[in-house]
Structure formats: structure tokens, C-alpha cells
Amino acid sequence: MLKSLAAALVVSAAMLGSIRAAAADPVTITFRFNDTEQEVRGAIDEFQKENPDIKVDLQRIGWKDARNQFLREAAVGQGPDVQHSAQVWVTEMGDAGALLPLDNFLKKDPPSNGFADFVAQDLAKGKDGHVYGLPWTTDTWAMVYRTDLLKQAGIDKLPQSWDDLRADSAAVYKKTGKAGFGFPAGSSASGAIWFLANFYWWSHGKALIVQKADGSYALGVTVDDVADAMKYFKQYMDGGDNPQSNLAASDAHDPSIMQALVTGNQAMGAMPPNTYKEIIKAYEDANPGKPVPFVSAPFPHPDDTKSSMFGGRMLVINANTKHPEQAWKFVKFMASEQVFAKYYRTQFPAQNSLLKKIDFGAPLKGFAEQFEYARTWGPYASGPVPIGTMWNLTDRAFGTALSGQSKPEEAAKGLLQEIEKQMAAKG
Amino acid sequence: MRDRLFITTMLLPTVVLLLLFYGYPIFDNLKISFTDLSLLGMKRGGNWVGLANYRELFRSGDLGHILFNTFIWLTATSVILRLLIGLGIALLLNTRAMKLLRLAAVSRFALLIPWATPPIVAVVIWRFLLERNGAVNEALIKLGVVDHPIAFLADMRTVWPSLVAIMLWNTVPLIALSLLSSLQTVPDEYYEAAELDGATNWQKFRFVTLPFLMPAMLVLGLMSVFWSFNNFVYVWLATGAGPGTYTNVLATEVYLKAFIDFRLGYSSAIGMVMAVIMGAFGILYLRLVARQQLEETL
């Protein structure tokens, strides 16, 4: 009898202990982030301090692999709880069943100022109307100039049109021997020339993909429009003011381009603000005390057209998460004002109320002005062809034209035929 | 009869394991190649499309160019050069002069460095060396060979030779060291006999050295074909299959279709075609090498 009692006591004590231990153990959620750890480390530490019952395991992955890796994992019930996503991926990932709808969270426990305060809401929704992502950051691309090189080339006014830009770039190369407008012209499924080509079309009142009044999608450019853009950018390669080696550069933050701007071997570039900030920092580190010889400005455009995009990131929750409440708590925290004010300073918040409070400062003035002439990807993201496919096809078609593998007209025709084929196949 | 049963029983676990580890994925891939499975629709699965993916592949205007790149540049050129350069280095390391100068050990150690370098690191190193302000361009300009930097990995005239050079740097040492070990098995008596017969150096190489090296060269050549034909890393990391699609090969096409266009079904069809081609090389390997080895063993 005594033995049984003792055994029961031991078992009870063990159970109590394990229950207590379980209660004390924090829930671990995984956050997969595609930029550098230092950008979010402080915010995560703060979140964990405020929520001792939640532990955040930070995983890092490069942008190039982020979406595919997540889709592969989500399809087999795996993957991180919270994923860093490009704004333009959310619709298709939501439609693929990889994401948790956020509608209930937004209703019961909305972020301050509500969902209506966020930009790019159209890109956060799936075709079923559910919200699958919380816009987190926003940015736009703008032109960046090295004022000292422009001065050496006798240029005292920033280019106002695409023709001015071409002439000034050639002038810099001719008069200083340095690269003029050095842009990434690589053939890959990355930023490369995809952005510039679209900015060129948009500023001419065209778009690669348009949505018609009946809701269907169509090409918004002709072979001539595409060939015209190819010929325009080819001039920079043929003239030598964009070095041939940039045919192997795939991103605005390609080290060779960033380095050329920092060292004064290139006068002009096009990039998002975080890349520009890195360039300024690298210049300041290399030249302490010297004034920064950079200015930013919008891409050339007539007053009634757009010439850049509202880009940015969203935070999404994996459909397979076992901790949806904790994941949402984390997502909401990361989008809060305190995170952008204290920790995540390399990006701009995606909430209109917070954007208004930002002092862009003199170097970023051009980016602030560019926001006025920016548009969302809209039909590109909601249309039938995955945006990554269009990046790849466009970059490669431009690559063949710019490297001289084929004539711009042939490359343009091939590009539009392929996109049309894919649009037809996917309805 | 009893022996045959015993052999079959002993082999059965291995056969089952091989079928599980190799047969099942191949069968699964074959099944996917008859569907329109998309990376975005993995949860839903794909619809049966029969031979549509294969028809599209064989009618594709890009296929000829991709096959040319895969067979001629990626495989034939790199394998032939790998064997020739490897042989040259092995012969050099085996010379008396190298031994007398006590350079043989140092050279072998130096050869191990590129071989031990992972391909991804090798490509990154070479990208730095070959870029606009890289060491290669700087050297060429200083030597007066060129006035302006060469865009090695972006110019159509230089991109394939550059890619092949990167592959050779990383893989020749294995060939060289393997051939060197074969060279060291050639009995000195054969050379002495050839010398007594008045053979020239070329004749000694042609009629003594080369026959000894041929089995090793055959194995290394065929293995190199397998490594090269399927290779994805060098092309993708160095050029991303560009400029344009100039360096696109079958392996990069598989990746592009699967993970950029999300067309897993179509991509699997390309993978199956690659598997069939490799299967042909496999049969060749079995006929030329494995059977000979088996006969020698028996």
C-alpha cells in the first residue's frame, strides 16, 4: 500500500514537473528573412523581450532562392512559420495554398491604423479575395548620380529625358574616360534590366502587361516598343559608357557596379534606396570627412506618366504553421512604428501614416520625389504568367539583343511570342 | 542451380536497395514528365498531358542550341582538354628532372589545391579574377596585350573558353594525379627494352606509355563525360546561362523551367531526355570498361 502511494506520488510529481516545464517552455516560431541579419536582429531581440513566451528562430536565405525554397517546403507541410516575401509573390503563393489567410487576424487583432493604412493592398490578396500578406516595407527605384563626375564632364543639370540621360552618359565617358550610366544588363531571372525596361515603357505610357476592362490580361507593348527599348539600352553598351562586363551583372547591387560608383569609376546608376544607402556608407567609410558626391533624382518621365514602381516586401504566414497566433503577433510587431523607428532603418515602412513621418533627407530627396511617379506592378502580379518567368524572359531577350546575339526586332518578337504563349496556356 | 539461387539471394538486398534509391525517383520523374505539374500547384498535383511536354521540347527552337552547348562545349571540349592537359601535367610530374629538382612532391601538393576547392568557390574566385577590374584584365593591360578590359564572362567570343577554363582549373588535377599514379606502374624494363631497340622518345610514349595509360584514360574520360554533361554549377554560377541564352545547357534549362517558369512537368521531361542520353553513355561504359574489368576478375 505504501509502495503504491509512493509510486503515485512520484508519478504525480513527474507529471506536475513536466506540465510546469511545458508551461515555461516558450513557443518557437521560425522567421525566414532574405536580407542581412543585422537589419532585423535588434527588432527580434526586442520582440522576444516583450514576449518571453515566444522564441523567434531567425533563418537566412538569399532572395534568388527564397520563393522556390518556401514553395517546395510548404507543399510538403514544412517551411518557416513567417516568411519574408516580395510584394509581387504573395498572390501566386496564396493561390498555391502555401499561405495562411490573414483576414481573421486583421479583423480581430488589426495593426494600428488598420489594414487600410498599408500600401500595395491589391498585391496582398489572392484571386479568392483573401488577404495573404501584410505589406511590410516599400521602396522605389531612382537614379543616382556622382556630381563630381558630372561636373568634370561639364554637365550642370540632371537629365530630364531618356535622350538627355543617353547624351550625358556618353559625355561622361568621352570626357572623363569613366563609365556613364552603368546598369546591370545580365541575362537572369533577377532585377537586372527588367526594371529599367519597364520604367522606360511606363514613362512612354506603355506597360508589358495590362488588364482590360473585362478583367482579362493582354500585352500592352508591341514588338516595335520592345525593340525600341532594346535599341535604346544597347546604345550604352555599344558606346562603351556601360561596360560590356555589365552584361554579366544581374542586380543593381552587383558588387562591380556598387564599387564603380563608390570609387568614382562610374557616374550614374539606378537602384533601390537600400543599395544607395550602402554606397553612401561605403563612400563615407573610404573618405572620412569628405562631402558625399551623390544626388538622387527620379527617372526621366513626362508629367503624366509613371517611371518607377512601388516595390517592397511583405510578411506572410505559412499555411502549415502550428503557431498561427504567435506568428501573427510577430508579424504585427515587425510592422510596428517602433521597429522602423529604432531598428529596421534600411527600409521604408509600408504604412502611409508612417511614410509621412519619414525625413528622407537630402541624399534621398530623389527617391521621395520618385514616389510621386511610381506605380504598383498590379496586372503583372495578378496576371496569368508568373512574374519570375517574365523577369527571366525579358532579361534574356534583352541579353541576346544587347550582346549582339540577335537583332532587337527578333529578340523583341521572340519575347512577346513566348509571353503570349504562356498567357494562352494559363488562360 | 543451387549456386544460382544462392547468388540471387545474396544479390537481392542490393537490387532492392538500388531499385528504391534509383528506380523510384526515376519512375516518379517519368510520371511527372507526363503531367503539367507546376511548382505553384504541388499541393493540387498535375494533370496528365501525355507526351505534350516531350513534343514541346523536341519542337522547341532552342533545343538545337542547348544540345550544341551541352555536347560540344560543356562535354566534348572540356573532356578532351581535361584529358590532354591532365596527361601533359602527369608526364611532366613524372620526368626525372622534376624528381631531381625535388619538385614532384611540391607540385603534387599544389595540384591538390584547385582539386580540393569546391566548384562554387572556384567559380566565385574566377569571377573576381575575370571581372572588369580583376587580376586577369589588369595583367593583360599591363602587359600591353589589350587596351581595354575584356568582359570574359559577358562577351560571346570569350564566355565559353572562360567557362571551360574554370572547369579545367578545378578538375584537371584529379585527371593528372590519376594518370600520374598509372604512369608510375609502367615497369622501367619496358623503357629499357625500347631503348635497346632504338626507340625514340615519341615511340616510347606511343608504344609503351600510352598503352599502359589507356585503361585509366578510358575510365577517366567516360567519368568526365558523366560529370560534365550533367553539370549545372559552373555554367549557372558563372554566367547564369547568359549572355542572353548563349551558354544555356540542358542542366540549366532544367532549372530554368522548373524554378523560374515553375513548369515541373516540362522540366522533368528534359531530365528524362538527359537520363536517356546518360544511359547511352552508361551502356558504353559497361561495354568498354566494366565488362573488361569483370572478365579480368573472373
Predicted pLDDT at B1:
65
Q: How far apart are CA A69 and CA A55, in angstroms?
A: 23
Residue from A156, A141, A178 nearest A310 by CA:
A141
Range list of β-strands (E), A104-226 = 133-139, 142-146, 179-181, 207-211, 217-220
Identify all chain A residues contacting B136, using CB atoms and an 8 Å cutoff: none
- Tell me the per-residue pLDDT of A359-400, one tens digit each, with 9 for 90 and over: 777 888 999 899 889 998 989 988 999 888 899 999 999 999
Predicted pLDDT at A211:
94
What value, to the nearest 5°, has the Cα angle with vertex A160 and ends A159 and A164?
A: 55
State the amino acid at position A271 in one-letter form: M
Predicted pLDDT at B107:
86
Q: Which residues pair with A32 in a beta bridge?
A: A59, A83
Domain locations along chain B: 65-255
Q: How far apart are CA A133 and CA A94, in angstroms?
A: 9
Q: How far apart are CA A110 and CA A340, in angstroms?
A: 18
Which residues of chain A are modeled with pLDDT < 70? 1-24, 426-427
Predicted pLDDT at A207:
97
Predicted pLDDT at B167:
97
Q: Do domains A28-139+310-350 and A142-309+381-425 have the same CATH topology?
A: yes
- The Cα of A239 is separated from the nearest Cα of chain B by a number of Å equal to 13
Q: How far apart are CA A74 and CA A91, in angstroms?
A: 15
- CATH topology for A28-139+310-350 is D-Maltodextrin-Binding Protein; domain 2 (3.40.190)
Residue from B110, B241, B234 nearest B176 by CA:
B110
Q: What is the ipTM of this complex?
A: 0.80
* A142-309+381-425: CATH architecture: 3-Layer(aba) Sandwich (3.40)
Q: How far apart are CA A350 and CA A348, in angstroms?
A: 7
Q: Which residues pair with B112 in a beta bridge?
A: none
Domain locations along chain A: 28-139+310-350, 142-309+381-425
A287 three-state secondary structure: coil
A381 three-state secondary structure: helix
- The set of residues, in sequence order, having a beta carbon less than 8 Å from that of B232 and lying 6+ positions away, is B251, B252, B254, B255
Identify all chain A residues contacting B155, using CB atoms and an 8 Å cutoff: 244, 247, 403
For A15, other C-beta atoms within 10 Å of its C-beta total 10
What value, to the nearest 5°, has the Cα angle with vertex B60 and ends B55 and B61?
A: 155
- The set of residues, in sequence order, having a beta carbon less than 8 Å from that of A13 and lying 6+ positions away, is none
Identify all chain B residues contacting A245, using CB atoms and an 8 Å cutoff: 131-132, 149, 151, 153-154
Whole-angstrom CA distances from A93 to A29, A30, A35 are: 20, 18, 20
Answer whether A44's CB lies under 8 Å from A56's CB: yes
Q: Enter the C-alpha cell of residue A243.
A: 561596360
Q: Enter the C-alpha cell of residue B83.
A: 584529358
Predicted pLDDT at A192:
78
Q: Enter the C-alpha cell of residue A250.
A: 544581374
Q: How far apart are CA B246 and CA B255, in angstroms?
A: 16
Whole-angstrom CA distances from B119 to A422, B73, B116, B256 are: 35, 18, 9, 20
B154 vs A396: CB contact, 8 Å cut-off?
no
Predicted pLDDT at A189:
72
- The set of residues, in sequence order, having a beta carbon less than 8 Å from that of B255 and lying 6+ positions away, is B232, B236, B267
- The Cα of A368 is separated from the nearest Cα of chain B by a number of Å equal to 33
A310 three-state secondary structure: coil
Choose which CATH entry (1.10.3720.10, 3.30.700.30, 3.40.50.2000, 3.40.50.300) describes domain B65-255. 1.10.3720.10
Confidence (pTM): 0.85
Mean pLDDT of B106-120: 91
Which of B36, B38, B43 is most worth mutating to test chain A (most A CB atoms within 10 A of its CB)? B43
Q: How far apart are CA A336 and CA A329, in angstroms?
A: 11
Question: In the predicted model, what is the mean pLDDT of chain B?
Answer: 92
Whether the pLDDT of residue B59 is over 80: the answer is yes
Q: Enter the C-alpha cell of residue B212.
A: 599502359
Whole-angstrom CA distances from A266 to A70, A149, A276, A305, B131 are: 37, 8, 14, 28, 15
Mean pLDDT of B245-259: 95
Question: Of A243, A389, A400, which has the smallest distance from its Cβ to B261's Cβ?
Answer: A389
Predicted pLDDT at A301:
84
- The Cα of A166 is separated from the nearest Cα of chain B by a number of Å equal to 22
A34 three-state secondary structure: coil
Q: How far apart are CA B52 and CA B30, in angstroms?
A: 13
B246 vs A400: CB contact, 8 Å cut-off?
yes
Q: How far apart are CA A120 and CA B209, in angstroms?
A: 71
- Tell me the per-residue pLDDT of A56-99, one tens digit each, with 9 for 90 and over: 999 999 888 899 999 999 999 999 999 999 999 999 999 999 99
Whole-angstrom CA distances from A323 to A28, A29, A80 are: 8, 7, 11
β A27-33/A266-271 pair status: unpaired
Residue with cell 539600352: A233
Which of B68, B262, B266 is most worth mutating to test chain A (most A CB atoms within 10 A of its CB)? B262
CA nearest A411 in B: which residue?
B244
Interface of A with B (CB under 8 A): 68, 71-72, 75-76, 92-93, 95-98, 186-189, 240, 243-248, 250, 256, 259, 265, 386, 388-389, 391-392, 396-397, 399-406, 411, 422
Predicted pLDDT at B287:
85
Q: How far apart are CA A304 and CA B107, in angstroms?
A: 68
Q: How far apart are CA A227 and CA B133, in angstroms?
A: 31
B247 three-state secondary structure: coil
Predicted pLDDT at A427:
63
Q: How far apart are CA B68 and CA B247, in angstroms?
A: 10
A295 three-state secondary structure: strand
Residue from A99, A72, A87 nearest A382 by CA:
A87
